[in-house]
Structure 1
Amino acid sequence: MAIIAILGFSFFGLSRISSTIEVAVTNIEWERSIETEAFKLVTEEAWEMPQEGKIIKSFEAIHHYDKRIVGYQTRTRTVQEAVGTEEYVCGKRDLGNGYFEDKYCTRTIYKDRQEQYEEPIYQEFPVYKTKYQYEIYRWKPYKNFDTNGTDKQTNWAELPDFINTDNQKFRVKEKKESYYFAIKDHKNETRWYKANFDYWDNEVFIRKTLKAKKSTIFGYFKQLVDESKVVAIER
């Protein structure tokens, strides 16, 4: 075991030795998306009638279930009961003259026995409450306007005029953007990364070299020097 531990520690130590290499950027990609919503009339059901809703109907529906005891059934279980005590040797007592004698302790003796008990039988009973069906206007997903590319000419999609002008019926919910790049490592393997816009726009260009680390002893690729600014991803 000691040899295995030493070998493991040695392997770990050797694997930490790194060399700086240069890797070239081979691909860049970007994606942008504008999520829009429309204010639509929808039908919903709820236990409370919203103030803005227009009622269609009300009806009784199961709100929850109450569990009640409806009887008992006799069961048998094993229990332990104390039937006495016994002494056992629990150590040694130093007599002070070079001799020792047994030290005795006492413990309880238990015996298994069967006993009967009454187990309650439960049944679920539905509890009804008034439920409402109504019409109401809600913001719902309308359409995503997406753009993407493999160059640095980033842009947001041009929204239809009615989305920008009719704020009562349409709105932009969220804008999302993602930026990626790929490098070829020293073994000619492609590795993809995701970066924030500032790093991607200012530091990443086709054929530009970036600093990276590889294992000096074992030769495997470790990470980009700027790994804290990017995230390695699977593609």
Structure 2
Amino acid sequence: MMLIGLIWADFAPLSLLFAIVAFTWALRRARFLVGVRGTGWIAVAVVLLPVGGIWLWQRAEFASVCEREGKPVIYRKADADGVFLNSGTANSFGTRYLYDEGFAWIEAPSIYKLGDWVRYQQGSAAENKDAITSTEIRATTARYEVREDFSQPFAHTGLSQTKIIDRTTSEVMAKAGSATYSGGAMKWVLGAWGTRKCPSAMMSSDDFTAFYHLARNTLRGSKLNLKP
């Protein structure tokens, strides 16, 4: 099934070509169009104009979300060795905050005991630095929270939001969002060719990097000697 999905994503627009050919064939055999030239162009317009119109109309929502959420913003910076990672994927992808973001430890909800927490810690240089140890804890101690929200409040746009929050004051120190447009109702005939994403590594590598490293740039910048 996955292979079929990949093939469809790449070659879905061919279905539009088949529709144009079939519609052209039907028009040329229609009695009321006998002798009329340009039936091929009529077929192209009838097939492609609705597809393009619907795609653009639904893409407007995506463009609006990108305008509001697509630019990473840091309001205030601080220094922290660890964070509370409030994310539904903390136990599967949370280690990137140790390897990629430079934190010594992260705290996250336990997947085994409801209401308990786990601290994940990277090994020291003297030990195996790539080894991750986990310890059950009764309460979180981190002052700063990295909150990842994957809720989908829009009809045609997927949105992933990341916020850096000072838990002592509830202040939002930084925020960034990643929006995805799958093509809306036209995804079945456009496949991957109808998708859009912001920030995009191809269109704006700086914005994409700033989104991916929001936690590091906000809470580890001075310790890692990062440029502002």
Report the TM-score range of the alignment, normalised by the length of the smaller protein: under 0.3
Q: Could you tell me the TM-score, scaled by structure 2's length? A: 0.24
Q: Could you say which structure has the higher strand fraction? A: 1
Q: TM-score, normalised by structure 1?
A: 0.23
Greater helix share, 1 or 2? 2
